[in-house]
Each structure stands twice: as structure tokens, then as C-alpha cells.
Chain A
Amino acid sequence: MTQPIIQFDKVVKRFGDVTVLNQLDFNVQRGEKVTIIGPSGCGKSTVLRILMTLEGIDSGVIHVAGKPLWHQYRNGSLAPADEDHLREMRKEMGMVFQQFNLFPHMTVRRNVTEAPIHVLGLSRDEANERAEHYLDLVGLSDQADKFPRQLSGGQQQRVAIARALAMKPNIMLFDEPTSALDPELVGEVLNVIQRLAGEHDLTMLLVTHEMQFAKQISDRVCFFHAGRVLEEGPPEQVLTDPRESRTREFLKAFIHPA
């Protein structure tokens, strides 16, 4: 196998006294679709937030696309990364948030074109064309002139996906993308994500509680517990026939919620 596109080496992350990631080793191959499951507080969202450089790490090293994420080489040794390096590394990734986090004062089109114009340096026409393409992909090309509040939650999340894709990232991070949605709106968002999963080159990292969906789209499912990967493997195995008792308990609570 080639070098992983994402590589966590003994990564530690603490919030105050709480150790969220405990010497985490975790790899993702290029093009792989990986789902992270686990109880709340197990560090699964933190993994995505650290990758997106929204949270720093306390120790360990992360490599993304062969380059250290939170470090850079200075005089041959690893030193903490500066903002320029982080900005460069962020180009590899796009992120979709639980709360959508669309910019409420911008139209849908402006939400999608803002970063391509002002980060990638596209002309307004090029950016609009690109926005059209990705809004079409998520089935919302007719909503470009609306403001986010005029859309349903499901539509807002699809715009957020288009916004992230418009930066053409190699890695897409989905942080519980359907958890804030009304049940009847979950399907339309999952459909879009499923279509993306068909793209061979796109690496996807998904944190979700939609077990059925995880089974359909993932190459691999990782069960996080106490800041480490407790169990991982093909979705059929982890989700239906887990080896670890903790995984079984977690999944049981999901199928038969108390």
C-alpha cells in the first residue's frame, strides 16, 4: 500500500484535565471512505477539528498528504507550524459541520464563491461557474440567489457541502452532517454524500450516528473509545459482528435506544 494520506502518530489532545485523544495512531489511505463511530466524548469530532486545524494538538505528529500538519521542518527538525504553513495545509481539506455554519448574511452563491475568489484567486465568472456546477451537484442550482435562512436545514447542509467542494479538496471531513436535521430531511443530505462517495479519488472521513448509511458507503469503520481506535475493519464486520464487547454495547444502545 502507498503512503497514507492521513497519518496520526501517537497524537495526544487534552482539554484541561480531560485527555480527549490518548496516543492516537490512525491512518487513512488516499481515496478511502472511513466512518468514525463512538460514544460522545470519545474524541471522534476532535479528530476532524484537528485535521481542519481548528484545534491544536498537545503532542504527537500528524501527516497529511506526506507533509506534517501541525509542524514544519526548520533546519531539518520539526517545529510548530506557522500560519502560512497551516493555510497551505488547509487547501487539502474541506469540512462540513453539524450546524452547517453557512454565512447568514451572504446569498447561497456568495457562500460558495467567497473562498474560491479570495483564497484561490478565481475570477468572479470562474467562481460563479464553479458554484453553479457544485450547486447543481447537490441539486440546488435554482436557489443560488436566496439567503440561507430561506432554505430548509437539509438544503442548507447541501449548500455547505457545495461550499466545501468548491475549494476542490482532496479530503472531505463530515462532522455529524445530519445530526442537527429533522428526520425527514436526513435522506437528501445522505444522498448527496453517497454520490460523493462514488468519486474514486476523494478521501472521505465521516463522523456519524447513521449506522445503516455508514454500512453502505464506508470502506472501513473505526470505533473510537477513550481517545483511541478500539476496533476497526470492514463495515459488515464492525457493525454486525464486532469483536470488542464495548463496540457491541455501543451498537446495542443504538439499535435499542433506552
Chain B
Amino acid sequence: MLLGIEWNTANDWAFALSILPILLKGLVVTVQATVVGFGIAAVLGLVLAALKASPLRLISWPARIVTEFIRDTPLLAQLFFLYYVLPEYGIVLPAFLTGALALGLQYSAYTSEVYRAGIESVARGQTDAARALDLSALRTFRVIILPQAIPRIIPALGNYLVSIMKDVPVLSVVSVLEMLNVAKIIGDRTFNYLIPLSMVGGLYLIMTLFASAGVRYLDMRLPKQGLPLR
């Protein structure tokens, strides 16, 4: 029994069928961690990209150093750090939140580079025109640059969404009951690893295929000139 659900070991099919609801509970956690982690990465990445684009070195350099540091250290090390070290300073977060935060932090370093490339891909003439019209830097970024950069950013961001989903099992080391962890526990208790692990593989494949299709759909639907502003 796991998460309040019994399994049936009568035969392989019955076993598979009986553990599916348990795995789906784990899948919900996986999706939640993906969504929260990606949300953090999407927002924090944009902030980091904006800071790195600052003409003031006092702002751009720390942002660069932070990005580089996050990118060049293992996700697992960051996760352990957040989970075991922060509580020593009085910051105690639930395992799930710590895990999602670690994912979000790690991927914000990647997404910030995606944003940067997207922002730089907007033609120089656009900022020239905005400046000539005396628009403020913030407004130029928000209504001129960003709407044109986003359609070019979507495919790369989508790749990272799939990547985050596949990195969620790392959270099992801090005892988050995501899908792979659930499957492993089932295996530990029933001595049948083949079926739960295969099912996890299949479920992951379905999820990533859906996510990729969603991203491709968005990419096709978004106008290449930028998000239309009436």
C-alpha cells in the first residue's frame, strides 16, 4: 500500500492497473513541480536578463556572476544546499517548495540567456525609433522589445519546460513523492521494478510529447512580427 492505495499482485496486468492511480498521484506532483519551477525560471530569468542588459556595470556584473554561478554548479548540489543549509539560518521550506525553487533557480540561468538572445534579436532600429519618440526605457522594453522577442523565445523556453519536467526526479533525494520516487518505492516493496519503472517511462513520454506539441502549436500560432498590439 502506498498513498492509501492497495496494489494487486495477482498477475502483471492487475498489478499494473492497481498501481496506475498511485503513479498518477506522483505524476500530479511532478506536474506541479514542473509548473512552479518553470514559473520561477520564466520570471526570474526575465529579471536576470533585464539586469544583465543594464548599461550600469554595478547592476549587470552581479547578475552575470550569479547566472554563471548557478549554471556552472550541479542542480543536486544547489538542492542540497537549499534543503540542508537554509534551515540553519532559520529558513525552513517544505521539501516540495525547496525542490521547485532549486529547479526554478537553475533554469532561470538558462532562460535568462534565452531572453537575452531574444531581446538582442529585435532589430536595432526598433530601439532607435522608440528613443526618437522619447519613450521611456521601461516602456520601450515592455511594449516594443518584449512583444517582438517573445515569439522568438517560445520554442527555446518550451525546450526548457520539457527539460525541467525530466529533472523533477532529482527532487526524490529530498523525499518529494514525485512519480519516479513513487515507482521506486513500489518496486522496493513488491520486488517488481520492471512494471512501475516502465510505466513511469511511458507516462513521461506521453507528457513530454504533449508539452512539445503544445509548444509547437504556440510557435505556429504566434505572429512572427510580434504579439499584435491594437
Q: Could you tell me if B133 and A167 are in contact, using CB atoms closer than 8 angstroms?
A: yes
Given the interface pairs A104-B226, A105-B227, A110-B230, the reply to whether A119 lies near B133 with Cβ below 8 Å is yes
Most B Cβ at <10 Å: residue of A49, A107, A115 = A115
Minimum Cβ distance to chain A for residue B66 (Å) = 26
- Residue B229 interfacial (CB < 8 Å): yes
Docked pose: A101 CA to B125 CA in angstroms: 5
Minimum Cβ distance to chain B for residue A103 (Å) = 6
| Of A6-14, A90-98, A185-193, A227-235, the one with at least 4 CB within 8 A of chain B | A90-98
Point out the residues of chain A lying under 8 angstroms from B227, CB to CB.
105
Chain A interface size band reads 20 to 34
Minimum Cβ distance to chain B for residue A21 (Å) = 19
Q: Could you tell me if A103 and B131 are in contact, using CB atoms closer than 8 angstroms?
A: no
| Of B143-151, B158-166, B172-180, the one with at least 4 CB within 8 A of chain A | B143-151
- Residue B194 interfacial (CB < 8 Å): no
- Residue A118 interfacial (CB < 8 Å): yes
Q: Bits for A75-87, please: 1 = Cβ < 8 Å to B, else 0.
A: 0000000010001
Q: Which of A49, A54, A95, A105 contacts B223 (CB 8 A)?
A: A105
- Residue B126 interfacial (CB < 8 Å): yes
- Residue A44 interfacial (CB < 8 Å): no
- Residue B4 interfacial (CB < 8 Å): no
Q: Could you tell me if B134 and A97 are in contact, using CB atoms closer than 8 angstroms?
A: no
Point out the residues of chain B lying under 8 angstroms from A94, CB to CB.
132-133
Docked pose: A52 CA to B226 CA in angstroms: 26
Q: Could you tell me if B228 and A115 are in contact, using CB atoms closer than 8 angstroms?
A: no
Minimum Cβ distance to chain B for residue A246 (Å) = 30
Given the interface pairs A97-B129, A101-B128, A103-B126, the reply to whether A90 lies near B148 with Cβ below 8 Å is no
Q: Could you tell me if A90 and B131 are in contact, using CB atoms closer than 8 angstroms?
A: yes
Q: Could you tell me if A52 and B132 are in contact, using CB atoms closer than 8 angstroms?
A: yes
Given the interface pairs A97-B125, A97-B128, the reply to whether A105 lies near B226 with Cβ below 8 Å is yes
- Residue A220 interfacial (CB < 8 Å): no
- Residue B135 interfacial (CB < 8 Å): yes
Docked pose: A36 CA to B69 CA in angstroms: 51
Q: Could you tell me if A54 and B128 are in contact, using CB atoms closer than 8 angstroms?
A: yes
Docked pose: A190 CA to B39 CA in angstroms: 51
Q: Could you tell me if B134 and A106 are in contact, using CB atoms closer than 8 angstroms?
A: no
Given the interface pairs A110-B229, A147-B228, the reply to whether A105 lies near B134 with Cβ below 8 Å is no
Q: Could you tell me if A104 and B148 are in contact, using CB atoms closer than 8 angstroms?
A: yes
Most B Cβ at <10 Å: residue of A52, A53, A93, A101 = A101
Q: Bits for B104-137, please: 1 = Cβ < 8 Å to A, else 0.
A: 0000000000000000000101101101111111
Minimum Cβ distance to chain B for residue A215 (Å) = 28
- Residue B225 interfacial (CB < 8 Å): yes
Going nearest first, the 8 A-B pairs with the smallest beta carbon separation are A105-B226, A115-B133, A101-B129, A104-B225, A101-B125, A95-B132, A90-B134, A119-B134
| Extra 6 A-B pairs, beta carbons < 8 Å, given A101-B128, A106-B230, A115-B134 | A83-B137, A97-B129, A102-B129, A107-B230, A119-B133, A119-B135
**Contact sample, A vs B, 23 pairs, CB 8 Å cutoff:** A52-B128, A53-B131, A87-B136, A90-B131, A90-B132, A94-B132, A94-B133, A99-B125, A101-B126, A103-B126, A104-B226, A105-B225, A106-B229, A107-B230, A110-B229, A110-B230, A114-B143, A118-B135, A119-B133, A119-B135, A147-B228, A164-B132, A164-B133
